[in-house]
Structure 1
Amino acid sequence: MHKGIMLKDKVAVVTGSGRGIGRDIALEMAAQGAKVVVNDIGASVTGEGNDPSPGQQVVDEIKAMGGQAALSTDSVSDWNAANRIIQCALDNFGRIDIVVNNAGILRDRMFFAMSPEEWKAVIDVHLNGSFYVSRAAAPHFKSQQSGAYVHMTSTSGLIGNLGQANYAAAKLGIVGLSRTIAGDMKRYNVRSNCISPFAWSRMIGSIPTDTPEQQARVAKLQKLSTAQIAPMAAFLASDAAAEVTAQIFAVRGNEIFLMSQPRPIRGMHTAEGWTPETIAERVLPAMKPNFYPLETSNIVFSWDPV
């Protein structure tokens, strides 16, 4: 593995880093000189079970390449446990500089059949977990006047997807969280950005493949390595990204995209105020050409990744 210096002397916490994208981010950050807390409860894609061995294997890999790492098996979805994740960095390495909120689970179900438990489980890990771990690190970032957050969002939330109301809501919520962190922490030289990753992982592996369209989409994703996400995470965590905050980057194979964020695209005004009738008569025909179609991610990103 290449040895870099982009993150020399920095301490990073990477949640959900026993496998997949998180593992590659942890390894990349270690290769760039960071000391890494590998956090993973060792659960299945749906969040069941706890096996410390995946996280321990990543710790061992980092140490084998001459890096420094420590294992945390606490859950991001609990406030006290999330604080222990950050404390693990302080106990082992004396500081915290980087938080990567990568931990996640899936409970896919069509909206009309989704249970409250399936909704809450996904919100707890993705959205609440991102808040808890970020919040636990915030006082340390504030007092040292530096720090970087990297959060994982998804085109499921940014664009849309079927059967993922829980996941999409959590992932779009993370965008709002990241933007507000960026604003609230700007005066303390703390940055917050999102990555929307495309990669073949255990999580994507649970996408249904019942139709030819789904099979084609999964075949396309299978070409994408989780390792292709890691360089962007390492860059955003580094001092080279000192001017980068409140942004959303999508990484797809060897492609990097800056994603749009909601802004007004068309406006209309009337001196006398609107009625339902005048909205139907005047606003609808004027704005309809600018409506966003109901699309899923694979329609917007329709070309093969390069």
Structure 2
Amino acid sequence: MSELRFDGRVAVVTGAGHGLGRQHALELAGRGAKVVVNDLGGDRHGGGGASGGPAQQVVDEIVKAGGEAVTNPDNVATPEGAEAIVQAAIDAFGKIDIVINNAGILRDRSFRNMSPEEFDSVIAVHLRGSFLVSRAAWSHLRDQGYGRVVNTSSPAGLFGNFGQANYSAAKMGLVGLTRTLAAEGAKYGIKANVIAPIAWTRMTEDVIPADFADQLGVDKVTPLVTYLAHESNETTGEIYTVGGGKIARVFVAETDGWVQKGEQTAEDVRDHWEQVNDGTSYTVPKNIGEQTMALFQALQ
């Protein structure tokens, strides 16, 4: 089989100064892509002061290996910053083909003790940032009739996690955003998918033992991102967990449920609760239209 190449393609990778984003940027560049390496340069909590050092180190590594890359230190969470990130690709390479939204911060705290600022700041980077960068790139992707968007969710978003109400909400929000981008981008050749990685990085070093650093290395996540970002990938609107060599599709399904036409009471719901929750048979709607049509059919 032929190698997946990205010659002539231009990618923006946010949060690419460390961890997953760094690995994504290096891999794409190694396969011929021209890369904008975006990183604000702060610590994993979003503080510590901005620094272009980490992103510049990645760019230097790419250039040393014979690739092409530029650095960008702008903030994904502001409209101006997101526009500047995409404009960096246009200015340096004349276009943009791939958006990999990877930037993120953590402000973990139990729900009872979480402040509105801690909630908002995490939403701002993960969810709002992915929206803003994708939005800044969207008109370029539409006009050229081609694009690939890969968003970064988390198992914490898909399944919940203690002490991460802000992070979980942002990461599940990315699923809805990605599904909508897939729907709206379909006729313009834009594919959008979302990954939920498990990897040992500075973001997860407090929850994943260092003993698993090798088994859960970032190099076990990037191959999926690389494929999803490639022109040969025709899949769109899907969710994939990835880590430690395992890749699996995650989907939102609806059970066959229970239908009672006419009057319905709380007691009726109670008496049919087992049927409502029975997952023996289910459907996986591709969009809200399919889900709604199934309801209409059940009511006929």
Same fold (TM over 0.5): yes
Residues 284 and 221 from structure 1, CA distance in 2 versus in 1: closer, same or farther, beyond 3 angstroms? farther
Q: What are the superposed Cα offsets for residues 4-24 of structure 1, whole Å, 9 maximum, x if unpaired?
A: 652111000000000000000
Measured after TM superposition, the shift of residue 188 of structure 1 is 0.4
Aligned to 2:135: 135
Aligned to 2:250: 259
Classify the secondary structure of the residue corresponding to 2:96: coil
Identity, % of aligned positions: 45
Q: Contact 1:5–1:33 at 8 Å: present in 2 too? A: no
Q: What are the superposed Cα offsets for residues 182-241 of structure 1, whole Å, 9 maximum, x if unpaired?
A: 10111100110011111000000143xxxxxxxxx5357533101221111111111120
Classify the secondary structure of the residue corresponding to 2:103: coil
CA distance in 2, matches of 1:231, 1:185: 23
Measured after TM superposition, the shift of residue 289 of structure 1 is 5.3
Aligned to 1:224: 216
Measured after TM superposition, the shift of residue 112 of structure 1 is 1.0
CA distance in 1, matches of 2:197, 2:23: 12
Q: Contact 1:24–1:227 at 8 Å: present in 2 too? A: yes
CA distance in 1, matches of 2:210, 2:273: 40
Classify the secondary structure of the residue corresponding to 1:256: strand
Q: For residues 271-290 of structure 1, what are the structure 2 equivalents within 5 Å?
A: 271-280=261-270, 282-288=271-277, 290=279
CA distance in 1, matches of 2:143, 2:50: 34
Aligned to 1:17: 16
Aligned to 2:26: 27
Task: Give the superposed CA RMSD.
Answer: 1.5
Q: Contact 1:6–1:235 at 8 Å: present in 2 too? A: no
1:270 is aligned to 2:260: yes
Letter in 1 for 2:269: I
Aligned to 1:156: 156
Letter in 2 for 1:104: G
Letter in 2 for 1:22: G
Q: Contact 1:17–1:26 at 8 Å: present in 2 too? A: yes
Q: For residues 77-96 of structure 1, what are the structure 2 equivalents within 5 Å?
A: 77-96=77-96
CA distance in 2, matches of 1:185, 1:240: 16
CA distance in 1, matches of 2:31, 2:51: 28
Letter in 2 for 1:276: A
Q: For residues 227-242 of structure 1, what are the structure 2 equivalents within 5 Å?
A: 227-241=219-233
CA distance in 2, matches of 1:276, 1:220: 51
Q: How many residues align?
A: 276
CA distance in 2, matches of 1:21, 1:13: 14
Aligned to 1:294: none
Aligned to 1:214: none
Give the TM-score normalised by the residue count of structure 2. Answer: 0.89
- Structure with the bigger RCO (C-alpha within 8 Å, sep 6+) is 1
Classify the secondary structure of the residue corresponding to 2:191: strand
CA distance in 2, matches of 1:221, 1:266: 40
Q: Contact 2:110–2:163 at 8 Å: present in 1 too? A: yes
CA distance in 1, matches of 2:126, 2:10: 22
Letter in 2 for 1:102: N
Q: Contact 2:126–2:171 at 8 Å: present in 1 too? A: yes
CA distance in 1, matches of 2:76, 2:175: 18
CA distance in 2, matches of 1:267, 1:27: 47
Measured after TM superposition, the shift of residue 272 of structure 1 is 3.4
Q: Contact 2:127–2:174 at 8 Å: present in 1 too? A: yes
Q: What are the superposed Cα offsets for residues 251-284 of structure 1, whole Å, 9 maximum, x if unpaired?
A: 1111111112x2211311123321112212x122
Q: Contact 2:100–2:151 at 8 Å: present in 1 too? A: yes
Correspondent of 1:250 among 241, 258, 274: 241
Residues 117 and 206 from structure 1, CA distance in 2 versus in 1: closer, same or farther, beyond 3 angstroms? farther
Aligned to 2:58: 58
CA distance in 1, matches of 2:177, 2:209: 29
Unaligned runs of 5+ in 1: 208-216, 292-306
Q: Contact 1:198–1:221 at 8 Å: present in 2 too? A: no
Give the TM-score normalised by the residue count of structure 1. Answer: 0.87
Q: What are the superposed Cα offsets for residues 121-150 of structure 1, whole Å, 9 maximum, x if unpaired?
A: 000000000000000000000100001000
